[in-house]
Amino acid sequence: MATINQLDVLDLQCIVVLAETLNFTETARRLHMTQPGVTARINKVEKNHDYRLFDRSKGVVRAITPVGFVFVEEAKQILENLHRLIARSDAAHRAFSERLSVSRSHHVDLQLLSIVVAAQAVEGMRISFRSPCNSDEEAIAMLLNGKADVALVAWPITEPYVTSFHLTRDTLLAVLPENHPLRDRAEVHLADLRNEQVIGSKYQFPKTLKDAFLAKCKAHGFTPECLHISASPAESIHLVDGGVRPGITIVTKQYAKEVALTKAVCIPFSDGEIAYEYGVACRQSDHRPVLNNFLQYLVDRCRPVENLRGRRKPKSAQAAPKLNRKPAG
């Protein structure tokens, strides 16, 4: 009985093509071989297995034998599996050898960045980060100019020519100075800021969040007094904590964790009133498999983070669907 070591891919190809053509000359032409070479391979397989695959007479193929039919069907399946093996391996090699460049605004917190960094270790993706941008608009501009493949920015993302997905959200904190009347509260409401000065920096929050904040305050019947007198959120916290300027500031949990408070306290806003939303954007024209895999990874990983934070999802982000970014047509 013949063993698997006595068969090779070209043997299988000769048998499958000969079964289609029933002609040695045509089989040799299709496989770019000589006719004697094809005949020798067919004879070798039949001799090793001690049965006929083809009914032949004087070099003319008259029919496929019953055993030949079984052999040919199995040989076709093996060749198809080999083609699939090579195609998938090549695609994986291309995907994991490509490097994705990520732009981001300085607002993006470290927890989200850690998920992106983990893509390299967990998924084998190659990620490089651009220098942090001062604004979401700058990060999106880098994306559209081809200087980045992905942008991590505030949600919602409304730029044209961009495809975006919601990732996660984080409740904001009010930093209240010593002896502030609200400092013993479990949470604060926007309406509580009616008579407050809000200290901040020019780029403390993205435009989308600032606009939402002002709109909600106006819905409560007032316009907050915002003082852009600091260079960073950390400096805003120090101004409030040290009592340098009267007023409060608003920061993300990440910034609050990075600064040690001596007198001030951080109180969360009531859930649903105001929150920091994060999203990811890419060019609509970019449909590379490596990019789609990265986007799917981010969406899958960020939704559990959102659930663990114990925050209610916005209606726009209830589901974590499988992404379908196929080019039109």
Give the C-alpha distances (Å, rounded to integers) separating 154 from 233, 268, 275, 276, 277.
Answer: 16, 19, 11, 7, 6
CB-based contact 264:258 (threshold 8 Å): no
Ordered by where they begin, the domains of the chain are 4-95 (1.10.10.10), 98-163+279-317 (3.40.190.10), 173-268 (3.40.190.10)
Check residue 329 and give its pLDDT: 39
Check residue 311 and give its pLDDT: 38
Rg over CA atoms, the chain = 32
Exposure string over 72-99, b if 16+ CB within 10 A, otherwise e: beebeeeeeeeeeeeeeeeeeeebeeee
Check residue 314 and give its pLDDT: 41
Tens of pLDDT along the chain (329 residues) come to 556 667 899 999 999 999 999 999 999 999 999 999 999 999 999 999 899 999 998 878 999 999 999 999 999 999 999 988 887 777 666 556 678 999 998 778 778 888 998 888 777 788 989 998 888 889 999 999 888 999 999 888 888 889 999 998 887 899 999 889 998 999 999 898 898 999 888 777 877 788 888 888 999 999 988 888 887 777 888 889 888 888 999 988 777 777 788 899 999 988 667 888 899 999 998 888 889 989 999 999 887 544 434 433 444 444 445 666 555 43
